[in-house]
């Protein structure tokens, strides 16, 4: 559960490249902002840099901009998105497809359940949300778009087996195109 172990497990996905690929990390928040996702991005980038990878980032507003992601992805081989939010993954997905680059997405939580719970649209626990919650029209549309993107992503990383199993079942992600890399516990 160390950061060195996490960066090693992430780099094992890139064994098909003859040399160390350039990686664009797309993250919603980044230090000096506080929070788990910001710290995770920083620590992962440090670990990948130590392993000799050329890392660039699209963070904050740049991470929600198709133009910025496209421009930064020109000099990278892989786009690695550290959020499940459609606001971020949709731009990364289209930029990756247009440029013929690999796309990996890290799922550390469930965007749809979190938003529905916070807005008071559900009080169901996540394990029951997809089987019992009646989605409104907007939720259905965004879910279908997200499902298409996740099914057509090169690789999906989950922070727990529970999340992986949920997404394999409800999003149709192939088990062979996904893995569990738990958070670091230094």
CA distance 80 to 151: 15
Amino acid 39: pLDDT: 87
Give the 3-state secondary structure of 149-186: HHHCCCEEEECCHHHHHHHHHHHCCCHHHEEECCCCCC
Of 164 and 20, the structure prediction assigns the larger pLDDT to 164
Q: How confident is the model at residue 52 (pLDDT cuts 50, 70, 90)?
A: confident
**For the whole model, what pTM was predicted?**
0.86
Amino acid 34: pLDDT: 81
Cβ neighbours, 10 Å, residue 143: 17
Helix (H) or strand (E) holding 103: strand 102-107
Amino acid 79: pLDDT: 96
Q: What is the DSSP string of 21-73?
A: PPEEEEES--TTS-SHHHHHHHHHHHHHHHTT--EEEEEGGGGG-HHHHHHHH
Residue 60 in contact with residue 54, Cβ under 8 Å? no
Residue 30's Cβ-count burial label (10 Å; 0-12, 13-18, 19+) is buried
Residue 147's Cβ-count burial label (10 Å; 0-12, 13-18, 19+) is middle
Whether the ω angle into residue 168 lies within 30 degrees of 0, i.e. cis, is: no
Q: How confident is the model at residue 13 (pLDDT cuts 50, 70, 90)?
A: low
Predicted confidence (pLDDT) at residue 66 exceeds the cutoff of 90:
yes
């Amino acid at each position: 559960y160390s950061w060195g172990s996490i960066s090693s497990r992430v780099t094992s996905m890139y064994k098909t490249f003859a040399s160390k690929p350039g990686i664009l990390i797309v993250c919603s928040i980044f230090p000096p902002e506080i929070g788990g996702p910001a710290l995770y991005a920083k620590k992962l980038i440090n670990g990948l840099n130590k392993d000799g990878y050329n890392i660039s980032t699209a963070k904050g507003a740049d991470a929600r901009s198709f133009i910025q992601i496209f421009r930064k992805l020109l000099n990278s081989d892989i786009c690695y998105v550290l959020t499940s939010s459609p606001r971020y993954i949709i731009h990364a997905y289209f930029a990756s497809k247009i440029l013929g680059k690999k796309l990996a997405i890290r799922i550390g939580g469930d965007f749809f359940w979190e938003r529905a719970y916070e807005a008071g649209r559900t009080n169901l626990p996540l394990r029951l949300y997809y089987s019992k919650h009646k989605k409104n029209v907007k939720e259905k549309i965004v879910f279908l778009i997200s499902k298409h993107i996740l099914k057509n992503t090169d690789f999906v990383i989950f922070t727990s087996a529970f999340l992986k199993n949920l997404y394999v079942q409800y999003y149709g992600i192939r088990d062979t195109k996904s893995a569990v890399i738990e958070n670091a516990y230094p």
